[in-house]
A = this chain, B = another copy of it.
Amino acid sequence: MTTIREVATLAEVSTATVSRVLNNNSNVKADTKKRVEDAIERLNYHPNDVARTLYKGQSKIIALFVPDIMNPYYPELARAVEDVTNDQNYTFVLCNTDGDNQKEQAYRKALKQKKVDGIIIVSSTITEEEASALTTPTVLLDRKITSNISSVTVNNREGAREAVTFLKSLGCAKVAHISGPQQDTNARSRRDGYLDVVKNEKWFQQDYIVSGDYNFEAAQQATKDLLTRHPEIEGLFVGNDLMGVAALKTAQDLGIRVPEQLSIIAFDGITLGKTAIPSLTTMAQPIYDIGVCAANILLEQINEKATKTYHKEFSVELIERDSTKKRERT
């Protein structure tokens, strides 16, 4: 293995100068820089990342915490973060936390040992106290927990309102909601958006809201109970696309035609909704852009050692597909 000393000897400079060139320090004359770079190439010298980490305290590693990469929302997010970090020569670490606070803490401890440079966290369990105690640059996704930690979110409540208003504009007289788990901020916001639009309607009743827990099987059961109990429902606002596809499937099993008898709109904009039959109308998040934005904020915080924090909120967008349709009254 070539050493930095051999590079210095060939280039006829000190090892400190080689180090300056490697670190892009501008305090090196152009011709000296050229000589060092030629020597690096001729000797096929690779500076040892590990030694550099020990010296500089930076590992060139970035981590993403997600509850479970098997949830179809997260692969696109992970891809976006990895694209940005790889482009900037960072290594990308993926951690599945299962939404378990103990597991999250264990990951954070292990990554601290590895001098990880920054972390992007999707978490419904991290507390304000924990977030404030973080010493590693961190960006929170999906939640804004404290003004000290940067966050990237979407306008869940407004998006939910738009979805329900859209169903009403199609002529759906009564609209129900399949909600996500209420410990999740985004699930609560989407339910609140639904309530904003319907709570003063004469027909509204509390059991028009059922929980599908962001889970396919639970949403199938919830939809079945709901539509059996309330056959009068003409529109369904479902808390995410995964549950939206479950609702589609269940309606079909019950012999209810979508969109003729029942219009369904969901939330997220994952591929699953596009491939469903009929394809699923949804409030789409710009998932890839969210990942890119979070990664860029994190890199800025790492590189600038900036104390500045950002709170970016993206807007969701109505994508009309085949699961919703203007009602024809006879």
Contacts and interface: CB of A to CB of B under 8 A. Distances in A.
Contact of A277 (B72, B74, B277): B277
A53 B59 CA distance: 12
A296 B86 CA distance: 27
Interface in A37-90: 46-51, 53-54, 59-61, 68-70, 72, 74-76, 78-79, 82-83, 86, 89
Given A54-B54, A70-B76, A113-B46, A93 B92 contact: yes
Nearest to A287: B70
Nearest to A279: B249
A266 to B, nearest CB: 13
Contact of A94 (B46, B92, B114): B92
A210 interface: no
B82 A95 contact: yes
A216 B276 CA distance: 12
A96 interface: yes
A172 interface: no
Given A70-B76, A249-B275, A51 B48 contact: no
* Chain A interface category by residue count: 35 or more
B113 A48 contact: yes
Given A277-B248, A277-B249, A114 B91 contact: yes
Interface string A229-272: 00000000000000001101100100000000000000000011
A46 B115 CA distance: 12
A110 interface: yes
A214 to B, nearest CB: 14
A59 B69 contact: no
B113 A49 contact: yes
Contacts of A131: none
Contact of A276 (B75, B110, B275): B275
Interface string A292-322: 0000000000000000000000000000000
A111 interface: yes
Contact of A216 (B110, B115, B216, B275): B275
Nearest to A52: B113
Interface string A100-115: 0000000101111111
A53 to B, nearest CB: 5
Nearest to A115: B50
Nearest to A76: B70
Contacts of A109: 46
A79 B96 contact: yes
A154 B78 CA distance: 27
B49 A51 contact: no
24 contacts: A49-B113, A50-B50, A50-B59, A50-B114, A51-B54, A59-B114, A69-B69, A70-B76, A72-B75, A72-B271, A75-B75, A78-B94, A79-B96, A82-B95, A86-B96, A91-B114, A92-B94, A93-B94, A216-B275, A245-B275, A249-B275, A252-B277, A275-B276, A276-B277
The 5 residue pairs across chains A and B that have the minimum distance between CB atoms: A49-B113, A94-B94, A69-B75, A277-B277, A70-B75
